[in-house]
Amino acid sequence: MATPIDPMHQFMIQKIVELPSFTVPGLGAIDLSITNSIAAMLLSAFLIVTFYAFAGKGAVVPGRLQTVGEMLYGIADGLTSSIIGHDGKKYLPFVFTLFAFVLFANLQGMLFGWTGNFLGFTSTSQLAVTLTLGMMVILTVIGVGFAKNGFKFFKLFAPSGVPPVLYIILVPIEIISFLIRPVTLALRLFGNMLGGHVVLKIFATFVAILLAMAPAYWLVGLLSLTSVVALTALEFMVAFLQAFVFAVLTCVYLNDVVHLDSH
């Protein structure tokens, strides 16, 4: 049985509120119970809304919260404008929502992990969550592609300027690379958050064990503590970078279908 010392214990899915399940033909029984992962995602959404309720007051002289809120919004705005171009404003709400949700979900586990409950559960360390986000992105890309280009959307898999004989090889490769986009999005975010939290927990446990031993080991424990501090700072940076990369790739994929003629 997993214990709190087990580095994988922090990723265990546990039910918080028991709710009845119902059966869907062809899918089987679906459990509606609220787990720590669901509660963590709801909390992330609540924190975003609460944060911008205070940060979005539009004061003439912005305070710290407003400055941070404007900075985060400016990052998403800059990405859509620089990658997608003039049409990027249409997709800014979608990109910004993804960026903010992933960022807050990543940081939540770092800031509240000491609580040991759903408050500090990192929902982006669950492959089901990151894969769902990846599928949302790719389905949005497909929807925008068909809405803007109709059946010319399939031109995405047959770039212009290529010798016709190469299409036999190129088209299957383009189709496969397009279909694995949500998988790569999901695995990148999931792997980084899972791996970082596991390494951090292992090092922190190692330090705690050394400090609990004889005084001769205390110096080694204190030196190891500096590595934990450095890893914690690195993990905060990774939490931001992964949200940033997720937003960047979303813009890149949208740009492919928005400017299909230049593909």
Higher pLDDT, 92 or 165: 92
Range 45-62 average pLDDT: 84
- Share of the chain residues as helix, strand and coil, in percent rounded to the nearest 5: 80, 5, 15
Determine, yes or no, domain membership for 145.
yes
Higher pLDDT, 154 or 261: 154
Q: What is the mean pLDDT of the chain?
A: 86
The partner residues of 34 in beta bridges, in order of sequence, read 17
Query: Which pair of tokens denotes residue 233?
Result: 């700072």
Q: Is the pLDDT of residue 245 over 80?
A: yes
Range 131-155 average pLDDT: 93
The partner residues of 31 in beta bridges, in order of sequence, read 21
Range 108-125 average pLDDT: 80
Range 155-178 average pLDDT: 87
Q: Is the pLDDT of residue 48 over 90?
A: yes
Determine, yes or no, domain membership for 41.
yes
Confidence class for position 96, pLDDT limits 50, 70, 90: very high
For every residue of 101-168, DSSP letters joined together read: HHHHHHHHHHHHGGG-SGGG--GGGSHHHHHHHHHHHHHHHHHHHHHHHGGGGGGGGS-TTS-GGGHH
Range 242-248 average pLDDT: 96
pLDDT reported for residue 5: 66
d(CA 263, CA 260): 5
Confidence class for position 134, pLDDT limits 50, 70, 90: very high
Determine, yes or no, domain membership for 195.
yes
Most confident listed range (19-28, 101-110, 243-252): 243-252
**Buried (b) or exposed (e) across 225-254, using 16+ Cβ within 10 A?**
beebeebeeebeebbbebbbbbbbbbbebb
pLDDT reported for residue 91: 94
Determine, yes or no, domain membership for 26.
no
pLDDT reported for residue 259: 86
Using an 8 Å Cβ cutoff, are 192 and 242 in contact?
yes
pLDDT reported for residue 63: 82
pLDDT reported for residue 1: 44
Range 58-71 average pLDDT: 82
Determine, yes or no, domain membership for 2.
no
Dihedral over alpha carbons 239, 54, 115, 113 (to 10 degrees): 0
Q: Is 164 exposed, middle or buried (0-12, 13-18, 19+ CB in 10 A)?
A: exposed
Q: Is the pLDDT of residue 177 over 70?
A: yes
* Domain with 193 in it: 9-15+33-262
d(CA 141, CA 103): 21
Determine, yes or no, domain membership for 118.
yes
> Which residues 6+ apart lie within 8 Å of 175 measured at CB?
157
pLDDT reported for residue 104: 94
Q: Is the pLDDT of residue 4 over 60?
A: no
pLDDT reported for residue 30: 79
Determine, yes or no, domain membership for 24.
no
Q: How far is CA 20 from the centre of its chain?
A: 30
Beta strands in the chain (DSSP E): 15-17, 21-24, 28-31, 34-35
pLDDT reported for residue 263: 57
Number of domains in the chain: 1
Q: Is the pLDDT of residue 185 over 70?
A: yes
pLDDT reported for residue 78: 94
d(CA 20, CA 28): 14
Q: Is the pLDDT of residue 53 over 60?
A: yes
Query: Which pair of tokens denotes residue 176?
Result: 């496969």
pLDDT reported for residue 138: 96
Half-sphere exposure of 162 (CA within 13 A, CB side): 16
Determine, yes or no, domain membership for 155.
yes
d(CA 77, CA 183): 25
218-227 own/partner pairs: CB under 8 Å, 24+ apart: 227/203
